[in-house]
Amino acid sequence: MSTLVITNIMTDLQPLPSYALSAADLQTALQAALQRPVKDRPYSAQIMRQTPTAFIFLIDQSGSMDERTTYRGQSLSKAAAVAQIINQTLLELVLRCQKGDEIRHYYDIALIGYGGFSDEKANLLWSGAMAGKAFLSPAELAQAAVRVEEVTTQRTIRGRVVSFTEKRPVWIQAIHRHRTPMKSAICLAESLTEQWLAAQAGKDVYPPTVINITDGVATDATTEELLACCNRLKSLHTMDGHVLLMNIHVSDEQGKTILFPSKADELGADPYARLLYDMSSDMPASYHTDIANLFGLDQRTSYVGMCSNADMDVLVKFMNIGTPTQHNQHFMANLQPDS
């Protein structure tokens, strides 16, 4: 399946809008975009080539991500498991945009790591020819893999176990060093989002989704400083709604797993879960059915986009809520693949 992505890249890539604005021009364009009020029925904009949305993934690469976990029956580091899940998510985003030999521009995608290269500063993770770029279109993403690896999997077909060898692109590799400068990552996501919003010139576009994957607490900020940065990010908006910030704490420790709570008293006495709760966005009503079905939760009138003390299987489901996969019916309804 993924071989098609690597070999059939359209030759005339659709370039992203230029983000190389002066500080004054950026501020003017951003203010003009933010002056447009959110419409009465938010999170309903059609995702098309003319009106793409954006995804920003924040990946904790601190030293504690070296701790062991279990994923797909294998014992490996949390960093390695998260890298596998991110790579699969990126592949699905590319495949979702593929129409024959063309890879259409439905999304702008940014990848931010924190801890892997610095105690103090988050950094963009694209490498090779794409190093230093903030957002990639899906066509650019298809060309940006650092390598392609062969993976053998087994499936049961009509009672028989059959082995398949698939080629899968790798964009992010497992890194686990240094401390956890989470505030730096959130603030970098805020800056990228502002640039993206300015480039959209106030169009009716589906707002960006920011997904933060971590196994610990920020080492570069107090609780108040971290929340202030998250609140600024969540206050940004398009005409179609506010930025969605989702946070997941991955852990194999024994204890209660908290999944998309609807109110703070579901968190118990866990101060870190409360911090994630306060950092995260209320999920729009259009996501509620998917959340309840995928996590086996009761239907509620509200869900907050966070999970605490989650294993890797929960992370996979969490990514399915935050991105347009076959599990996310809301995103699939907004996506217009024939546009």
Structure tokens at 166: 């698939």
How far, in Å, CA of 89 to CA of 57, rounded? 10
pLDDT band at 153 (very low <50, low <70, confident <90, very high): low
Identify the CA nearest to 72 among candidates 323, 313, 268, 254. 313
Q: So what's the pLDDT on residue 18? A: 43
The pTM score is 0.88
How far, in Å, CA of 179 to CA of 215, rounded? 11
Please state, for a pLDDT cut of 70, what percent of the chain lies above it. 91
- pLDDT higher than threshold 60 for residue 13: no
pLDDT band at 85 (very low <50, low <70, confident <90, very high): very high
> Structural domains in the chain?
48-334 (3.40.50.410)
Q: Which amino acid is at 331?
A: F
DSSP 266: G
User: Residue holding tokens 């398949």?
Assistant: 164
Residue pLDDT, tens place only, 160-197: 887 777 788 899 888 888 899 999 999 999 999 999 99
Q: DSSP of 50-108, one letter per residue?
A: SS-EEEEEEEE-SGGGGSEEEETTEEEEHHHHHHHHHHHHHHHHHHHTEETTEE---EE
- pLDDT higher than threshold 70 for residue 248: yes
Q: So what's the pLDDT on residue 20? A: 57
Rg (CA), the chain: 19
- In angstroms, the first-to-last Cα distance of the chain is 23
Q: Give the residue-averaged pLDDT of 132-157.
A: 85
Cβ contacts of 190 within 8 Å, gap of 6 or more:
229, 232, 233, 236
Q: So what's the pLDDT on residue 337? A: 64
- pLDDT higher than threshold 80 for residue 75: yes
pLDDT band at 7 (very low <50, low <70, confident <90, very high): very low
How far, in Å, CA of 292 to CA of 295, rounded? 6
Residue pLDDT, tens place only, 194-238: 999 999 987 899 999 999 999 989 999 999 999 999 999 999 999
pLDDT band at 326 (very low <50, low <70, confident <90, very high): low
CA distances from 336 to 29, 45, 220, 284, 311 (A): 27, 10, 41, 20, 33
How far, in Å, CA of 175 to CA of 159, rounded? 39
- pLDDT higher than threshold 70 for residue 157: yes
Residue pLDDT, tens place only, 264-299: 989 988 899 999 999 999 999 999 999 999 999 999
- Give the SS3 label for residue 121: coil
Q: So what's the pLDDT on residue 334? A: 79
- Give the SS3 label for residue 36: coil
Are residues 146 and 115 in contact, defined by beta-carbon separation less than 8 angstroms? no
